[in-house]
Structure 1
């Protein structure tokens, strides 16, 4: 099982109306051979029979010149300058923001789901453009084992067969499930006028998996085949045993093979045409890069949606500023959009003040990082734990004023969690158990569990008659976690629990077991964050993932269920969820069952989801900060400015 990482993403056509002269035209008789023409006398000249009346001078036809629309030059301010725009080069948030405008993403990941963008649709099992089939696997073939790791099929490897049963492989041919999916790209066109083809995506896949590519794309290791099946269609096939709930995203952003295929993958990061001025099939193309200052983009004349009047902007400029940590960055007045990588969340009061004055619009959303306090339910080095009894874990949660904690640390923008996904998650169960701040209820649960203050010193006893309920609350030494630890410690004192904050250097706290505090299961309580994803990571708490020595029946010290908590019903629900794919019967129900059990049993006390902050000027249109879309610049083709006269 791969360890989950800890932490602490032109112009519309103008219809012109011209005024027309609606008076009837005057007909002048033409000269004919029978009637010789005579010179036309000047008005007022004497002629036979009288004087020619003066002729009125015709009014000139009015021609209206349309008033040109004012330019829409939008400025996005980033927290730094990209080192490169190469697709497999600099992977920080700043170049990713620019690349959204150059390479329209095949899909988006909005609101805990996926949506097609540069693809015509996302494949799914119901439509038949994704398939889960039983295939024969031979000795020596690459497979995904029962723990989710890539391996070769040899004797002693545990796999899950096509019927979903665990199998310790011995010999011969076996059948395993294999997933595949078909993708069709929109009619994209490179900025030099060359159509984007399926081969461009396959070329990108080959580059991604090359040892010469600096940025490793782990998706290719789980890929058995990626091939073009038509002019704009590709097919992804996974390794046998790989049940990827995000299979509909296993498609590679095209690179221009007609331009770059002659170069070796290791040459591409240094090429001007790959790193500084790449061809684009997105809404914009690089116009100018001023080192240390800005990158200016202009509309791609070959953008496939140009007939729809997209993009709306005349230009899109990315300026590089330095973040202000607790204040607005210097030079922010020149920006229409301040991205979340530029604004520390501690700058929220300054942003709110500017918003109240009408200069900015504040945007906040969850950031995919969940803060919690893990209970040492079954520590590796202790015979007993204060937290083996679920009543004690619930009591601690009742005794902690999490709402005040959230209000203080998120300036009132956050929300208390009841499980390991935020409440706005698509799979969050509405009926998950909640343990509101209620010290009286917490004290009652502690009494019920037999943890009493027998000597009147204000600290409960219980594991033995003389053992005081004294624990340590370990966390990394940073201001956020220190505030959490101090607040929780003060709250628990009112319930007769002495929780002493222990600030530990991150390298020691998160070192691999058995030496590390967290992964060695050497803690009473530990405050840290897990990453939250679109598919709930329920295997964070399954019994099979408890770290410990293999000789004692554990998975090994790479396990991630550091609480040591074990629950058969939870294991069954999570196992069912992980064996299914989105759209299959039982997928949602199994995930929600696991989330309910977690909320009821509390192997960890959920606190809040971290937030990210962005801001725009009031004239910016179609800006959207989303909890699961990594970058807020995901829709540059839709961004617009309300400009006077437009």
Structure 2
């Protein structure tokens, strides 16, 4: 009997060993990994408050632009290179003469309320843009008034232009509005309509609640994208300015900061759980020089003085000190990442000796020994005007300091909201500005002769050949021909140097480490930071990873 018990124990023990060995072998072949899971609320602090959640009305408010980017779609959208790609339109074709565009619309799109999207919505939006009292920005409305829009069938729209305009596709990225909701609303009531608070769009998110304190957006279950966002919701919290955001993060009120201005970098870098994402933007810093002020700043009319001012700037040092490294040294009026950029145009690097030589050649010499160059009793002295933005102030002061080494006296003038008016009326000597050119690289609005009084040619550069090249490039549909025209324009710009191009702007976004898979590609607008939001996640779940098999040659997953 005792022998029988020993055999039973031995058999049981052997069974346990065999089962254990099997489980161990199974575990070696199968393990678990974490993968993204649905859920989690991403909270972000932004500076400002929403006013009009209507794509036609968002141009002057960044918070409105942020929200509209999540709620609406245009026929097209601009990618990281500033080129149009399909959005509500599945495709389009352009006639060889550039006068006719045929857009084919997606047929799987519904508005967030369930109604179908079609060509009637597109034509309705265009009609609002074309209306005499359109609330859209004047330049946008003016362009669309020159375009004839026709419905070919429920999912095909034709646009006819009066003259070729290669940048036309940029203007098709504006969000489309729902005809079935806004038809019949007097156009003058659009800015105050309830739609501005609870809009209905076709985008990946929709408004669940909104107040003067925050907005909660939830995924749109009817969005045409195959992939729904992992996040349960996005909540934007509104603050008076960016200075409030670090404290809000420290107190646990938000997980992200919509933008980290350079002046906040010293404070932000102390948060070790805050990931910083930086990317170049379509904006750049420059100094406008008033070339038409004969009384106060006639010295700017001498190209040797203009070039000396640029040669006398260590722009990398400006970026490092005034902008905490958040910039990229720039040369010329077209961004270096653009297809229109001419890399063979010689740059003008920091060269203090060359700067001094140019001023000496122009007979600007410190004759009276007061530390400021002068000529015929007139000092080389001017006022540099800037906005009240802390980064602009720091940059302006750094410019003045570097020019002092050239014996050029500069006084910094800080303006509030009056800077735009002073630029428009040419009431300045030199002005520091940050300019954004999204999408097509066409620099016509900034440098053509016709734009001195009605555009952004604030310095009054009046060059016949440069204007001819810009006008011709606007009418040419062939990209290679446009590229050649813009290359010639950039050479003239470098020779004349009507303004001082300083640096490309860099956008920095801060998000807590608990939010994963955040990516920041080059931005056309700050709202583009949400371009990959469908991939962001906060929650995870475990799945079993099957052993690499001969059948699949890779990893198999089972929940």
Q: Specify the SS of the correspondent of 1:405.
A: helix
**1:491 and 2:402 aligned:** yes
C-alpha displacement at 1:606, in angstroms? 1.7
Residue 107 of structure 1 corresponds to which residue in structure 2? 76
C-alpha displacement at 1:262, in angstroms? 5.1
Q: Specify the SS of the correspondent of 1:75.
A: strand
- Aligned mate of 1:401, from 314, 325, 330: 314
Residue 42 of structure 2 corresponds to which residue in structure 1? 74
Q: Against the structure 1 CA distance between its residues 76 and 234, is the aligned structure 2 distance closer, same or farther, given a 3 Å change threshold?
A: farther
Q: Specify the SS of the correspondent of 1:245.
A: helix
C-alpha displacement at 1:602, in angstroms? 1.6
Residue 428 of structure 1 corresponds to which residue in structure 2? 341
**1:527 and 2:432 aligned:** yes
C-alpha displacement at 1:198, in angstroms? 0.9
C-alpha displacement at 1:213, in angstroms? 5.7
> In terms of Rg, which structure is larger?
1
Matches within 5 A, 1:140-155: none
C-alpha displacement at 1:477, in angstroms? 6.5
Residue 350 of structure 1 corresponds to which residue in structure 2? 267
Residue 504 of structure 2 corresponds to which residue in structure 1? 609
Residue 231 of structure 1 corresponds to which residue in structure 2? 154
Whether the aligned pair in 1 keeps the contact of 2:209 and 2:216 (CA below 8 Å) is yes
Higher relative contact order (CA 8 A, sep 6+): 2
Residue 410 of structure 2 corresponds to which residue in structure 1? 500
Q: Against the structure 1 CA distance between its residues 86 and 493, is the aligned structure 2 distance closer, same or farther, given a 3 Å change threshold?
A: closer
Whether the aligned pair in 2 keeps the contact of 1:351 and 1:362 (CA below 8 Å) is no
Matches within 5 A, 1:192-271: 192-210=113-131, 214-216=135-137, 218-222=139-143, 223-238=146-161, 240-241=162-163, 243=165, 245-247=167-169, 249-250=171-172, 253-261=175-183, 263-266=185-188
Q: Deviations over 1:280-307 (max 9, x none)?
A: 4222333x315344433333332223xx
Residue 577 of structure 1 corresponds to which residue in structure 2? 473
Residue 360 of structure 1 corresponds to which residue in structure 2? 274
Structure 1 residue runs of 5 or longer lacking an equivalent are 1-66, 124-128, 134-177, 548-556
Q: Specify the SS of the correspondent of 2:202.
A: coil
Q: Against the structure 1 CA distance between its residues 428 and 303, is the aligned structure 2 distance closer, same or farther, given a 3 Å change threshold?
A: same
Q: Deviations over 1:544-581 (max 9, x none)?
A: 3485xxxxxxxxx5575444545455344334323324
Aligned equivalents of 1:482, 1:633: Cα separation in 2 = 26
Aligned equivalents of 1:561, 1:639: Cα separation in 2 = 41
**1:97 and 2:66 aligned:** yes
**1:316 and 2:234 aligned:** yes
Aligned equivalents of 1:563, 1:80: Cα separation in 2 = 31
Whether the aligned pair in 2 keeps the contact of 1:372 and 1:528 (CA below 8 Å) is yes
Residue 640 of structure 1 corresponds to which residue in structure 2? 536
Aligned equivalents of 2:127, 2:262: Cα separation in 1 = 39
C-alpha displacement at 1:595, in angstroms? 2.0
Q: Larger helix proportion, structure 1 or 2?
A: 2
Whether the aligned pair in 1 keeps the contact of 2:44 and 2:237 (CA below 8 Å) is yes
Matches within 5 A, 1:384-533: 385-453=298-366, 458-462=371-375, 464=376, 467=377, 469-476=379-386, 478=388, 480-495=391-406, 497-501=407-411, 503=413, 505=415, 511=421, 519-520=425-426, 523=429, 525-533=430-438
How many residues in Structure 1 have an aligned counterpart in Structure 2?
Answer: 500
C-alpha displacement at 1:522, in angstroms? 6.4
Structure 2 residue runs of 5 or longer lacking an equivalent are 1-34, 543-559
**1:131 and 2:63 aligned:** no
Q: Specify the SS of the correspondent of 1:641.
A: coil
Normalised to the residue count of structure 1, the TM-score between the two structures is 0.67
